[in-house]
Amino acid sequence: MRDLTKYAKAMLMSAMILATTAVMAQQPGISHFRGYDKSAVNQFETSKDDIQPFNGLKVRVGGSFTQTFQALNHENVLDTVAAQFIDNNGDGTDDRELYPLAPGFNLAEANLNLDVQLAKGIRLSLETYLSTRHHSEAWVKGGYIQVDNLPFGDENSFFNQHMFVKVGHMEINYGDGHFRRSDAGNTFQNPFME
């Protein structure tokens, strides 16, 4: 009976892994989309050349998860035994004494990404932080509607070839440094995260 239970658990785990792979393969293509994975490294804006044919409303749901391990060490060069005792808060310990650090795991972080192709050249993006600051809360990082192709006028107009409009609450582009950092659960673009 025990062997049967182990076999059933192994089969269930295998089925879940295969189902996850099948679900990941079903993500629809969205025009003018900057990915959340390593394909977006050194890509700072969406490209006007990235055009997927519009066949109706497309919804893309994704996520990112990070569990980091941290092992820090610190020391104080001041000899707190020989130096004058400083206790401004009255707790009986020297205020210059460092907190004892121990290695451990940081709070797990996750992102939920929702991208929707609404019409030809018009897409919506919403990114939510899950359990980033508190376990039971979700925080919206930002969301916007991006128009790359006007639904009226000439298909080869100046706007459709060279411009786009982004409206909403999003991260303002002050340089490319913020494209190379960790963003809660999404750490794929950070070169220091391994």
Rounded to an integer, what distance in angstroms lies between the CA atom of residue 42 and that of residue 39? Answer: 9
Residue 46 in any domain: the answer is yes
Residue 123 in any domain: the answer is yes
**Alpha carbon distances (Å) from 77 to 10, 27, 96, 97, 120:** 54, 55, 10, 10, 63
pLDDT at residue 74 in the model: 87
How open is the CA angle 44-57-52, to the nearest 5 degrees? 45
Rounded to an integer, what distance in angstroms lies between the CA atom of residue 75 and that of residue 97? Answer: 9
- Is beta strand 165-169 parallel, antiparallel or unpaired with respect to 138-147? antiparallel
Q: Is the pLDDT of residue 148 over 80?
A: yes
Residue 187 in any domain: the answer is no
What residue type is 61 in one-letter code?
A: V
C-alpha gyration radius of the chain: 25
- Residue given tokens 């980033």 in the structure block: 132
Q: What is the Cβ-side half-sphere exposure of residue 98, based on CA atoms within 13 angstroms?
A: 11
Q: Taking a C-beta distance cutoff of 8 angstroms, is the pair 5, 12 a contact? A: no
* pTM more than 0.85: no
Residue 189 in any domain: the answer is no
- Least confident piece of the model among 6-15, 78-87, 93-102, 113-122: 78-87
β-strand partners of 62: 113
- Least confident piece of the model among 18-32, 93-107, 109-123, 158-172: 18-32
Residue 192 in any domain: the answer is no
pLDDT at residue 161 in the model: 81
Q: Is the pLDDT of residue 7 over 90?
A: no
Summarize pLDDT for 62-75 with one digit per residue, the tens.
888 888 888 988 88
Number of domains in the chain: 1
Residue 186 in any domain: the answer is no
- At 168, the pLDDT band (50, 70, 90 cuts) reads very high
- At 137, the pLDDT band (50, 70, 90 cuts) reads confident
Range of the domain at 84: 2-180
pLDDT at residue 80 in the model: 58
